[in-house]
Amino acid sequence: MAMVLPLACGGRLAGSAAVVAQEKGRVFLATALHLLGTSDEVQIAIPPHGGDITVPQVYPLTQAPIAAARVVTTDPFCDLAILEIQGSLGMPVPPICTDQNLPAVGTEVVVLGYPFAPIGSMLETWTPGHVTARARQQIIEGVLVDEIVLSVTAHPGASGSAVVGRKDGVLYGILRGALAPPEVMKIGNLPVATDTTVTFATCAAYIPPLLQFAKEH
């Protein structure tokens, strides 16, 4: 199963980041670029369960060890960022889907991430759902980005979550948003919920070339 950790920007929890590669004391994580915003300080929190969703989690946590992360590269079209932290983590890295094994509509998936991270939650959840559509977001005429649409509700902090095949454990996508205007159900400036289950994830097939670039830089 994928290992997902909380992402903090500017000293505040913002969302989730999925471990996508480890080598030679370097750990690479994929997350949603829009989370990084205007923060030049990016960190990964390492809660006591270490991203192992099978372990009981104590909550609420008021603090956790953190690792400084470097933004190695980004793909603004795909809303993806690759981060690097130093060290090693104890869990295996999931296989990443390629153009050849994109999930079909109806595929059972699970979303692993930290819903409500922006209000301080470091409770990781495993949320089952299905691929309800395969989409191609048109960024500009002629520039399309492959996405998968999921039947799960994306709460704030879910951005950057891993979308993993329930049967094969393949990383199919990185969750990036939901079909809902950000005005829906807010407390102050913080959107807290949406009534839609039309949730978008950027296809993970975009990650390997970014990872290759990251490893070389």
Partner 1 sequence: MAGLDLTGLSEEALLAELPVPVRQRITEMSGRSVPEDQIGAVLALAPGGSIARKGAGSWRADLWPAVVQELRVLCCTDDARYADIRDKWTGLQGDTASTAVAALSGAIGASLGLAAGVVAPVVVWGLVTVLRLGLGVFCRQTEPKKLEVPAG
Is residue 4 at the binding interface for partner 1, with CB under 8 A as the rule? no
- Which residues have a Cβ under 8 Å from the Cβ of 45 and sit 6 or more positions away? 5, 6, 7, 8, 13, 64, 65, 66, 122
Binding residues for partner 1 restricted to 173-192, rule: CB under 8 A:
176-182, 191
Binding test (CB under 8 A) with partner 1, winner from 18, 32, 46, 203: 32
Binding residues for partner 1 restricted to 64-123, rule: CB under 8 A:
70-79, 81-82, 118
In the stretch 36-65, what mask flags binding to partner 1 with x, by CB under 8 A? Answer: xxxxx-x-----------------------
Q: How many CA atoms, within 13 angstroms, populate the side-chain half-sphere of residue 68?
A: 3
Kindly state the smallest distance separating residue 158's Cβ from partner 1, in Å. 7
CA-to-CA dists, residue 95 to 13, 25, 106, 205, angstroms? 27, 19, 20, 11
Which amino acid is located at 63 in the chain?
Q
CB 128 within 8 A of CB 166: yes
For residue 124, the cross-strand partners are none
Kindly state the smallest distance separating residue 41's Cβ from partner 1, in Å. 8
Map tokens 């993970």 to a residue.
Answer: 204
Kindly state the smallest distance separating residue 77's Cβ from partner 1, in Å. 5
DSSP type of residue 96? B
Nearest-angstrom CA–CA distance, 63 and 18: 20
Is residue 200 at the binding interface for partner 1, with CB under 8 A as the rule? yes
Tell me the window of 43-51, 57-65, 164-172, 206-214 that interacts with partner 1 (CB under 8 A).
Answer: 206-214
Kindly state the smallest distance separating residue 20's Cβ from partner 1, in Å. 14
- Is the four-CA dihedral 40, 139, 215, 86 of positive or negative sign? positive
Binding test (CB under 8 A) with partner 1, winner from 6, 159, 203, 204: 159
Binding test (CB under 8 A) with partner 1, winner from 6, 15, 51, 94: 15
Map tokens 């949730």 to a residue.
Answer: 199
Nearest-angstrom CA–CA distance, 15 and 33: 11
What is the binding site for partner 1 (CB under 8 A)?
9, 14-15, 32-40, 42, 70-79, 81-82, 118, 137, 139-140, 142-143, 154, 156-159, 176-182, 191, 194, 200, 206, 209-210, 212-213, 217
